[in-house]
Amino acid sequence: MEYLFEKNGALFFKRRQEIMEISAWGQGLRVRATENTRFSGKDWALSPEDKREALIEIGEKKGIISNGNIRAEVTPYGKICFYNQKGELLLKEYYRSWEHGIENWEDLDQIVMLRIPAREYHNAGGDSYRIQVRFEAEDEERIYGMGQYQHPYLNLKGCRLEMAPRNTQISVPFAVSSRGYGLLWNNPAVGTADFGRNITEFTAESARQIDYWITAADTPAGIVENYADVTGKVPMMPDYAMGFWQCRLRYTDQEEVLRVAREYDRRKLPLKVIVIDFFHWPHQGDWRFDPEYWPDPKRMAEELHEMGIRLMVSVWPTVEHGSENSGEMAEKGLLIRANSGMDYILGNARVFDATNPEAREYVWNKCKKNYFDYGIDLFWLDEAEPGYQRPEFGAYRLYDGNAAECGNEFAKCYAQGFFEGMKQEGVENPLNLIRCAWAGSQKYGALVWSGDVPSTFTYLNYQVRAGLNMGLAGIPWWTADIGGFHGGNGEDPRFRELLLRWFQYGTFCPVMRLHGDRSPRKEPIGARGGGAWPSGADNEIWSYGPEAEEMMTRYIKIRERLKPYIREMMKEAHEKGTPAVKPLFYDFPEDPRAWEEETSYLFGHDLLVSPVTEEKATEKSVYLPAGAMWTEVYTGRVYEGGQRIAAEAPLTEIPLFVKNNGEVLNLLKDRNGRISG
C-alpha cells in the first residue's frame, strides 16, 4: 500500500507532510506522529526496554498492528481505530472530511465539509507545533485517572483539564476508560485534555510530535498493571513510613523538634516520622541548617533515632541571590533561565533546573553533605512545580527545552535526583515527599501530597477523589495534609470537627501525615535567617483538647495495628502497581453501581472506607458492592452487598466495612477486642 508499510518492526504511515509510526510497547501500542522529517529521540515516560516486536498485516484497505490485547487498524488516509482482543471497538479517531476510498455505509456519516482532521499541527516556531489529537466521544464512557485536580469529580467525563503543574494541581496524563482501555498522553508539554460529550481531545501547546500509548485489558486492574509495567513501579514502602507522621508550619529550632518528639515518646505514641519544614536555612539555596537555631543536627537525628523516629527535612529548588551557591550555579548554567535573557525569577530567587543531570547531582551533593551525612533520613521536595505564582511557560527554558514543551517533567526529574543519590548511598527503598509529579514519578520513590489545600469540608471532599484518581494514574503513594493546610484555628469548634473527620480519613490513606498552617501564628524567634520567619500555631494531637486527643490517639493505634495489612498493600503496589486506595469498581467491575460511587473507596482489598465530608453529619449513605458480605466495623452488623445503607457516623467514627469477615477485622481490634469506644 502506498501510504502504509512496515518499517523497523513498526507500522509506518507517510502521506503529504506527516509521518506516523505505531509500535508495540509493553502490553500496548505507542503512536507517534509529526510533520518534522524524523521523530525525536525522547521516550519520556515509557521505558525503552519495553519496546517489542508486533504482528503486522498490510492489506488493500488497511494496515493492522496487534500486541497483547489491543489491535490498531489504519486506513490508507491515516485514520486509526483501536480494538480489543475480542474485536470490540475501544476508541477511534475523530475525522470529519471527504476522502477518496470511503465505501462503507457507516463511513458516510463522516462525509461533511468541516474538514477537521484527527491530528492537527500548527507551527509554533522551528520544529515545534501546537498539536491537537481528536477521538470520537462515547456517551456512556467513564474516564478516570489523569492526576490530581481540585474539583468534585471522580469520573472525568465532561471535564476539561489543564495539563500543567501548579500547587494543588498535578497532571499525570494517564486515563482509564470504562470501555476497557487506558491511554497515556506521553508528552510533558503544557496543554489540555478535554473529555467532552461530543469529542475527546488532547492539546499540546508546543511539541515536536504526537506521542501517546494505549493498552487494553478486561479489568481496570489489568489496565493499571499494564501501565505500571511500562512506566515503572514504586519501591517497597519502608515499614516506618506506614505509621504516623507529625508535621506543622514550622518547627523553629532544634530543641522544639526534640521537645515534641520526647512528648510523643513519653505518651508512648508510635510516632514514626517528624518533619522540619521550610526556612530552617540561612538563605534559600544554601541547603543546610542555620547553625544559630540548629547547632547540632547530628545529635538531633541520633536522639530521634533512639526513640524510633525518622527525620524528614524540607528542600526547596529556589536559589536566593544571597545564597552561598548562587554564583557557582549561575556560572555552571544549573539554573532555569528565561527564553530571552538569562534570569527567570521566583520572588527574589532563581530555581535550579531539575531536568539538567548536572544540576540534580549538584543539589544532591549539597543535601548529602549538609543533611544526609548528619543522619537525616528523608527529604520533603517542596515547590516542585516549580512554584511560580503566575507561570508563563513560554517565557522560561529548561535543560530539556522550552518549558511549554516539557514543563510537566520538572517534578519527576526533581524526585529522580534524590532517588538516585540515596540509592548510591545504600538506601534500599528511597522515599521522598513531593508536591508535584508526572507520569513515571512513582519509580523514583515519589510520595506525592496534594499541596496547600484550604482547611474546609469542601476540600476534604475533593481530596478523596483526587487521591483515587492519582492511584489510577499510576501514583500509589499519595497523601494530603490532615486538616488541610491554609487556615484552621485550634480554638474553633468547627475546625476541630473538620480536623477529626480529616484525621479519620488520613488513617486510611497511603501515608498518615498531620500538617497545616494553624492560627494564630506565632511571632518570629529571631531577626535573621530562618529565625525571621513566623511559625503556625501548635499542631500536635494534644493541641486540640482532651477529647480530640483521645480520638486521634485511638486512630494512630489503629493505623499501627493495621501494619501487616498495609504491608501487603504496599507489596502489591511495588510488584504490580496496584493503588493503595482504589475506587469500588477496581475490585468490582461487574457491578454497574460500583462505577457510580465516588465518596467511598477500598483501602487495600478488604476494607471499604467512606469518609464523612459534610459538616455536622452523623450518618452517611454508603453503597456496598455486590458479590461480597460486608461487616460494619462500628456496629458489627453484617450486610449483603448490592445495596445502599444508612451508616452510623458519630463524630468519633468513620464508616468502615470489612469484606467477607476478613482477617483485617482482627487487626482493627485492640488487646481487649474492641474497635471503638
- Mean pLDDT over 622-629 rounds to 98
Whole-angstrom distance, CA of residue 470 vs CA of residue 452: 17
Mean pLDDT, to the nearest integer, of 658-670?
90
Confidence of residue 106 (pLDDT cuts 50, 70, 90): low
221-261 residue pLDDT tens: 999 999 999 999 999 999 999 999 999 999 999 999 999 99
Which residues does 641 contact at the CB level (< 8 Å), separation at least 6?
A: 591, 624, 625, 626, 627, 628, 629, 630
Report how many helices (DSSP H) and strands (DSSP E) the chain contains, helices first.
13, 42
176-213 residue pLDDT tens: 999 999 999 999 999 999 999 999 999 999 999 999 99
Where does residue 485 fall: left (phi above 0), alpha (psi -120 to 50 degrees), or beta otherwise? Answer: alpha
pLDDT at 100 over 50: no
* pLDDT tens track for 169-182: 999 999 999 999 99
pLDDT(1) > 70: no
pLDDT band at 112 (very low <50, low <70, confident <90, very high): low
239-576 and 583-668 have identical folds: no
The residue-averaged pLDDT of 124-147 equals: 96
Lookup: cell for 439:
507520569
Instruction: Report the distance separating Cα 70 and Cα 83, nearest Å.
Output: 6
Instruction: Please tell me the distance from the alpha carbon of residue 469 to that of residue 481, in angstroms, as a whole number.
Output: 17
Q: Is the pLDDT of residue 103 over 60?
A: no
Pick from 453, 293, 288, 440: nearest CA to 373: 288
| Structure letter (DSSP) for residue 346 | B
Contacts of 260 (CB under 8 A, 6+ apart): 246, 251, 274, 540
Q: For domain 583-668, give the fold.
A: Immunoglobulin-like (2.60.40)
Angle in degrees, 0-180, between the axes of helices 493-507 and 457-472, rounded to the nearest 10 = 20
Tell me the residue type at 226.
Answer: N
337, 453, 366, 352: which is closest to 410 by C-alpha? 352
The predicted model gives 4-14 an average pLDDT of 94
C-alpha cell belonging to residue 295: 547547632
Measured between alpha carbons, how far is 569 from 237 in angstroms, rounded to an integer? 10
Mean pLDDT of 134-149: 97
The CATH code of the domain at 4-231 is 2.60.40.1760
Are 287 and 366 a contacting pair, CB within 8 Å?
A: yes
- Please determine, for residue 108, whether its predicted confidence score (pLDDT) is greater than 60: no
**Can you give the length of the chain in residues?**
677
Share of the chain above pLDDT 90, in %: 88
- Nearest Cα residue to 624 out of 604, 651, 647: 647
429 forms bridges with which residues in the sheet?
Answer: none
CA distance 284 to 329: 13
Instruction: Cite the DSSP H helix spans in 285-409.
Output: 297-306, 326-331, 357-370, 403-406
Q: Where are the domains of the chain?
A: 4-231, 239-576, 583-668
Structure confidence by residue, pLDDT tens digits, 412-422:
999 999 999 99
Q: What is the pLDDT of residues 274-330, one digit of tens each?
A: 999 999 999 999 999 999 999 999 999 999 999 999 999 999 999 999 999 999 999
Mean pLDDT over the full length of the chain: 94
Per-residue pLDDT at 495: 97
Confidence band, pLDDT 50/70/90 cuts, at residue 110: low
- Active-site annotation, residues: 382, 385, 452
Specify the pTM. Answer: 0.96
SS3 11: strand
Fold that domain 239-576 belongs to in CATH: TIM Barrel (3.20.20)
Q: Are 546 and 206 in contact (CB under 8 A)?
A: no
Burial class (CB in 10 A: 0-12, 13-18, 19+), 40: middle
The arithmetic mean of pLDDT across residues 107-133, rounded, is 83
- How confident is the model over 666-670, as a mean pLDDT? 85
Radius of gyration for the alpha carbons in the chain, expressed in angstroms and rounded: 26
Question: Does the pLDDT of residue 156 top 90, yes or no?
Answer: yes
pLDDT number for residue 392: 81
